[in-house]
Amino acid sequence: MGIPVMVIGKSGAGKSASLRNFAKDGLYLINVLGKPLPFKKQFESVLRTDDYPTVRRALEKSQKNAIVIDDAGYLITNHFMNNHSSTGGGNGVFTLYNEIGDRFWRLIEYVINNLPAEKIVYFMMHEEKNDAGDIKPKTIGKLLDEKVCVEGMFTIVLRCMGDNGSHTFRTKTTGADVTKAPIGMFEDEEISNDLKMVDETIRGYYGINKEQEGNENGKAKGF
């Protein structure tokens, strides 16, 4: 059973920047939008796609144990933008929203039910405020929000916070957001926005092996 982890935050809050301390061969990056990273380091294993079947094949075949889907929310947005103008009205729109919710839900379910326990998949998403005033992951349509409750599928939801050039992860809810983590996993309510450190902490907490460190010859394996 793989571990999905959600990381939410405003644009520029430090979601992508949190990858900076991984080694070049230390993770597999699925870059949904193909945006340049906000630091000079380039990872060796990178896939640019917003196609769900391609993402799932990458999750299955990658030999990296730390996998990041950067801008995962744009899997939802791109599907909507690429199809909404051709659906017409009525049942066509209803079907589109169902497809949007179904595909994203199935992707999370695939991580949970089909990946081995040592694989942690980080879903990086923008945040939004719902009608109740709570900060949650940004989605499209009522199916994911009202029927699924996407954040409910994750045991760990971290929130990127940016203030005067300082970037952190919140690990505990303020009462007005969906941030959460298992009891005792993180000592502090705010920690450095260092996803490498987070990855090590999660693995230590659950007693699973460390991130991919290379093959017998000392060369990192890739997808």
Mind listing the pLDDT tens digit for each residue in 80-110? 888 876 776 666 777 888 888 899 999 999 9
Distances (CA, A) of 53 to 67, 106, 146: 16, 11, 25
Tokens of residue 44, six digits: 């060796």
Share of the chain above pLDDT 90, in %: 71
Domain annotation covers residue 223: no
Mean pLDDT for 16-44 is: 95
Instruction: Look at residue 95 and tell me if it is in a domain.
Output: yes
| Average pLDDT, integer, range 109-133 | 94
Q: How many domains does the chain have?
A: 1
3-state secondary structure the chain: CCEEEEEEECCCCCCHHHHCCCCCCCCEEEECCCCCCCCCCCCCEEEECCCHHHHHHHHHHCCCCEEEEECCHHHHHHHHHHHHHHCCCCHHHHHHHHHHHHHHHHHHHHHHHHCCCCCEEEEEEEEEECCCCCEEECCCCHHHHHHHCHHHHCCEEEEEEEECCEEEEECCCCCCECCECCCCCCCCCEEECCHHHHHHHHHHHHCCCCCCCCCCCCCCCCC
Choice among 83-97, 162-176, 200-214 with the minimum mean pLDDT: 83-97
Where residue 216 falls among pLDDT bands split at 50, 70, 90? Answer: very low
- Going by C-alpha positions, the residue among 54, 94, 52, 72 that lies closest to residue 139 is 72
Residue 218 banded pLDDT, cuts 50, 70, 90: very low
137 or 144, which is more confident: 137
Average pLDDT of 161-183? 91
Of the pLDDT bands very low, low, confident and very high (cuts 50, 70, 90), residue 151 is very high
% the chain with pLDDT above 70: 90
Residue 62 contacts by C-beta under 8 Å, 6 or more apart in sequence?
28, 45, 222, 223
Q: Tell me, yes or no, whether 220 lies in a domain.
A: no
Distance of alpha carbon 129 from alpha carbon 94, whole angstroms = 24
One-letter amino acid of 4: P
Computed over every residue of the chain, the mean pLDDT equals 88
- pLDDT value of residue 6: 98
What CATH number does residue 95 fall under? 3.40.50
pTM over 0.85: yes
Is 49 within the bounds of a domain? yes
Please report whether residue 217 resides in a domain. no
Looking at the domain assignment, is residue 176 inside a domain?
yes
Confidence category of residue 219, pLDDT binned at 50, 70, 90: very low
Domain containing residue 168: 3-206
Q: What's CA 83's distance to the chain center, in Å? A: 23
H/E element holding 187? Answer: none
- More reliable by pLDDT, 19 or 220: 19
Q: What is the mean predicted confidence (pLDDT) over 134-162?
A: 88
Name the residue among 63, 68, 115 with its Cα closest to residue 221.
Answer: 63
pLDDT at 127 over 70: yes
pLDDT-derived band of residue 164, with 50, 70 and 90 as boundaries?
Answer: confident
66 belongs to a structural domain: yes
> 105 in a domain, yes or no?
yes
